[in-house]
């Protein structure tokens, strides 16, 4: 088997899912052909390896007689989702819509003769539901998925749960978690399927050859995230507002719906010794160039929830010390060798003290910074993690034409 169907949210279009830019390079070396099937398409298309092709899927509506005449047994695994919907008309509409989407995907795969590929959905979400329906009907033989944060933790959803989870877990062959925290979370929540779960860290390519010391009098602090509520960029501003005795330049990479509001807050709260620069969205290669040329003293992330932050992974590959909240899988990447963890329910003045501790006592210690780079090399180097992941995919691959009956 040397064909891979990779299901994404929007990649390779637009600005998101940037970590796939590294992973696709390794996948393309191990599969003869890769088909990327985005759930949605908007924005500019990014460069892809030669053996990687984007397939555009259009969802169709089919006659209800065709859909409900062959709906199959998969709704049995969705009873807990269905009973949340009080209106019977809405239940029928939901089952019809999902079934149409699944049928559209099957017709698409059949037409392109790729039903027998390894199907890999990058997010344990929409496509995982559709592939589960196809697997329940023996229309595909095998599919796997990664799980990150928003697609894993019920608490990240406004509704407090992720729909169709039992259906997805029933039919996914292997689920690769990107953090030990995520692995523990889903194992405790759904122990019945624990033999399907595996840990598989993401990775970052090596960019630098050595860590250089910095001697300038002012300090450079960096953060990188979407500017949305859960990232708590406002708390970075409130923490920096307490710093009076040293000069700090704070650079934030990333945009979002709160961009204007955050810039205004920085103007209002930050004293003259704190300079704030907001770059908005910046491509990964330009962030790497910044890290190479600017000698960053500290990277800060005060998110209220995380999976395993790729932005931190990128920073430590350059030997940059970290201050981050102890949420999700952050403790797996921010150890004492790398930086300082802040409690999730912190006080901003405590964060100020931790920032000062990092800047004044640790950030320019060359042994400490080289140790950070070594920690990245041992745990999050793409040249090790992605080949191991691909080896797991290929060794785990055990397609089956029929579905065994499982206890519901």
Q: What is the pLDDT of residues 275-296, one digit of tens each?
A: 999 999 998 889 999 999 998 9
The domains located in the chain, with CATH, are 3-203+384-396 (3.40.50.2000), 219-380 (3.40.50.2000)
Rounded CA separation 401/135 (Å): 9
Tell me how far the alpha carbon of residue 211 is from its chain's centroid: 28
User: CB burial class (10 A; 0-12, 13-18, 19+) of residue 91?
Assistant: middle
- In this prediction, residue 329 carries a pLDDT of 93
Q: Binning pLDDT at 50, 70 and 90, where does residue 407 land? A: very low
Q: Calculate what percentage of the chain has a pLDDT beyond 70.
A: 96
Q: Find the range with the poorest average confidence among 64-78, 240-254, 338-352.
A: 64-78
Contacts of 246 (CB under 8 A, 6+ apart): 218, 219, 273, 356, 359, 360
Query: What value does the mean pLDDT take over residues 116-132?
Result: 97
Q: Find the range with the poorest average confidence among 99-108, 123-132, 358-367.
A: 358-367
Q: Binning pLDDT at 50, 70 and 90, where does residue 212 land? A: low
Selected residue with higher pLDDT from 360 and 87: 360
- In this prediction, residue 210 carries a pLDDT of 67
Of 250, 226, 218, the C-alpha closest to 351 is 250
Q: Find the range with the poorest average confidence among 69-73, 141-145, 364-368.
A: 69-73
- In this prediction, residue 213 carries a pLDDT of 65
- In this prediction, residue 214 carries a pLDDT of 63
Rounded CA separation 364/39 (Å): 45
- In this prediction, residue 176 carries a pLDDT of 98
Query: What value does the mean pLDDT take over residues 228-236?
Result: 96
Contacts of 345 (CB under 8 A, 6+ apart): none
Query: What value does the mean pLDDT take over residues 223-233?
Result: 96
The DSSP bridge partners found for residue 147 are 177
Say if residue 215's pLDDT is above 90: no
Query: What value does the mean pLDDT take over residues 185-189?
Result: 97
Query: What value does the mean pLDDT take over residues 100-128?
Result: 96
Q: Please, what's the b/e burial string for 284-323 (b: 16 or more CB within 10 A of its CB; e: otherwise)?
A: beebbebbeeebbbbbbbbbbbbbbbbbbbbbbbbbbbbb
Q: Binning pLDDT at 50, 70 and 90, where does residue 82 land? A: confident
Q: Is 256 left (phi over 0), alpha (psi -120 to 50) or beta?
A: left
144-156: per-residue pLDDT in tens? 999 999 999 998 8
Other CB atoms within 10 Å distance of the CB of residue 343: 11
- In this prediction, residue 1 carries a pLDDT of 56
Rounded CA separation 157/257 (Å): 18
Q: Calculate what percentage of the chain has a pLDDT beyond 90.
A: 78
The residue to which tokens 């191990």 are assigned:
30
Selected residue with higher pLDDT from 114 and 159: 114
51-69: per-residue pLDDT in tens? 999 999 999 988 888 888 8
Q: Binning pLDDT at 50, 70 and 90, where does residue 364 land? A: confident
DSSP string, 298-336: EEEE--S--SS-HHHHHHHHTT--EEEE--TTHHHHS-T
Q: Binning pLDDT at 50, 70 and 90, where does residue 331 land? A: very high
- In this prediction, residue 387 carries a pLDDT of 97
Rounded CA separation 328/184 (Å): 11
Q: Roughly how many angstroms between the first and final C-alpha of the chain, as a whole number?
A: 31
């Amino acid at each position: 088997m040397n064909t891979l169907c990779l299901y994404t949210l929007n990649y390779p279009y637009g600005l998101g899912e940037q970590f796939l830019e590294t992973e696709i390079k390794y996948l393309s070396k191990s599969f003869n052909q890769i088909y990327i099937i985005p759930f949605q398409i908007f924005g500019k298309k990014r460069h892809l390896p030669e053996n990687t092709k984007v397939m555009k899927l259009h969802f169709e509506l089919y006659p209800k007689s065709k859909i409900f005449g062959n709906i199959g047994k998969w709704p049995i695994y969705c009873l807990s989702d269905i009973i949340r919907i009080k209106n019977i008309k809405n239940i029928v509409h939901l089952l019809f819509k999902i079934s149409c989407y699944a049928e559209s995907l099957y017709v698409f795969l059949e037409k392109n003769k790729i039903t027998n590929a390894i199907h890999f959905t990058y997010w344990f979400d929409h496509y995982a539901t559709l592939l589960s329906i196809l697997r329940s009907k023996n229309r595909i033989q095998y599919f796997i998925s990664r799980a990150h944060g928003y697609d894993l933790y019920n608490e990240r959803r406004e509704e407090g749960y992720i729909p169709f989870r039992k259906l997805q877990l029933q039919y996914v062959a292997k689920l690769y978690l990107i953090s030990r925290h995520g692995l523990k979370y889903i194992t405790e929540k759904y122990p019945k399927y624990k033999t399907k779960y595996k840990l598989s860290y993401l990775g970052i390519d090596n960019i630098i050859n050595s860590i250089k010391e910095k001697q300038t009098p002012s300090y450079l602090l960096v953060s990188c995230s979407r500017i949305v509520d859960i990232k708590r960029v406002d708390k970075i501003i409130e923490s920096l507002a307490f710093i009076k005795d040293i000069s700090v330049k704070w650079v934030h990479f990333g945009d979002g719906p709160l961009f204007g509001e955050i810039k205004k807050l920085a103007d209002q709260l930050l004293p003259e010794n704190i300079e704030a620069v907001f770059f908005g969205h910046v491509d990964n290669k330009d962030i790497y160039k910044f890290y190479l040329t600017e000698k960053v003293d500290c990277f800060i992330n005060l998110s209220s929830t995380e999976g395993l932050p790729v932005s931190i992974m990128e920073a430590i590959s350059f030997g940059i010390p970290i201050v981050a909240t102890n949420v999700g899988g952050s403790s797996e990447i921010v150890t004492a060798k790398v930086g300082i963890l802040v409690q999730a329910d912190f006080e901003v003045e405590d964060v100020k003290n931790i920032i000062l501790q990092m800047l004044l006592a640790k950030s320019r210690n060359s042994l400490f910074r080289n140790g950070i780079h070594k920690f990245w090399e041992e745990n999050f180097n793409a040249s090790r993690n992605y080949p191991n992941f691909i080896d797991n995919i290929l060794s785990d691959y055990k397609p089956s034409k029929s579905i065994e009956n499982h206890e519901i």
